[in-house]
Amino acid sequence: LPHALRHWTQYMNVGEQLAAQYPANDQYRLERAYGHGNVATVLEAQGDLAGALAHNRVTMAIKKSRLDAHPGDPELHDEYAKTLNKVGWELQQLGDLAGALDHFEQEFAIRSSLASRDPENAILKQNVATSRSYIGGVQECLGRDDEAIAQRVTELDTEERLHASDPANVNWQRNLAITQMHLADLLRRQGDQRRAAQLLNDADALLADLLTKPSPRPGWKRDRAVVAIAIARLALRAGQNNRALRASADAIAMLDPALPNDAKSTRFLAEALIVRGEALAATHRIAESHAAWTRADEVIASIAKTRDPSILDIAARAKLLAGLDAQPFLQQLERIGYRHRDYVNLVTQRRSAAETE
């Protein structure tokens, strides 16, 4: 990566010089955008999201300028939408949820417009569905579950149609399963356990099928583990504690071998351990539940020096449940307006319990 960064920085600097020397040359403006975009990609891979964001903002400004000059060019709309998504994602990872939502909504407006011009184009339909997924994810972080459900329901309709049109397309099959899981988790919090269970069963079956394909992708196993976590949470809400124990154990077994190099699996392993601890507590196995929460805290600690709200959430929950000091994480999440319903519910329960002691 350091070698790649040096190479792309040199490329970017040449683009800057040419664009400054020949400001009317659109090709040089484009090379300048590519240079900043490539540097941003390397910085992101190195974990420097703030640095990547700065470069992607330059790329975004250049692409917006080119789009303003040629508003009828669909390729320029698509290119601008891609960079809006990158900037939105980086803002979300850095804890700017309002900024992330704004960029995702701008991207969605472009994606929807492009799809309306070519309603039979499956790729454009998938782009709209994916854009809805990003919006719904931030809305969940802000505690706006009703709005998130509306996004997920429409997203699910698109994903179902795409999968039905080409059942052999593994990407669409995976996307459908993930959308089913996201909607099921929202419906669990709304109390619609029957519909949530149906969606999770369907998602698990789709992912199980993918894992039988030749050369299955490593991420599919993690996806199935995340569905197992959602199944465990739903089982807990329904009072099916033994099923919650089985599902959480399945998730842990699928995630443990991926560590320690996979940050996403690290986060989800900690989440699986938290849910398992809750299931153990529900069956009055107090010492085992505390051990699960303590291990969750140890697992998430390796990636907790971050501004990513989804990781800070799990770090805070693990510490709260393990009886450790969660204040630094709670304060950070409070500052950015993080209001995920599961997180808020746990914090409220813990504070109420502390007040009655």
Mean pLDDT over 108-118 rounds to: 97
Rounded-to-integer distance, Cα 201 and Cα 74, Å: 39
pLDDT at 355: 73
Q: What is the pLDDT of residues 196-227, one digit of tens each?
A: 999 999 999 999 999 999 999 989 999 999 99
pLDDT of 257 higher than 90: no
Tokens, residue 68 = 């303003």
HSE at residue 199, side-chain half, CA atoms within 13 A, is 26
Band of the pLDDT at 258, cuts 50, 70, 90?
A: low
pLDDT in tens, 143-155: 999 999 999 999 9
Question: Does the predicted TM-score (pTM) go above 0.85?
Answer: yes
Share of the chain above pLDDT 70, in %: 99
pLDDT digits (tens, 9 = 90+) for 12-51: 999 999 999 999 999 999 999 999 999 999 999 999 999 9
- Whether the per-residue pLDDT at 259 is higher than 60: the answer is no
Banded pLDDT at 228 (limits 50, 70, 90):
very high
Q: Residue 270: pLDDT above 60? A: yes
CA atoms of 177 and 228, how far apart (whole Å): 12
Question: Whole-angstrom Cα distance, residue 120 to residue 166?
Answer: 14
CA 146 remoteness from chain centre: 18
User: pLDDT (tens digit, 9 = 90+) per residue, 298-347?
Assistant: 999 999 999 999 999 999 999 999 999 999 999 999 999 999 999 999 99
| Residue 356, pLDDT score | 74
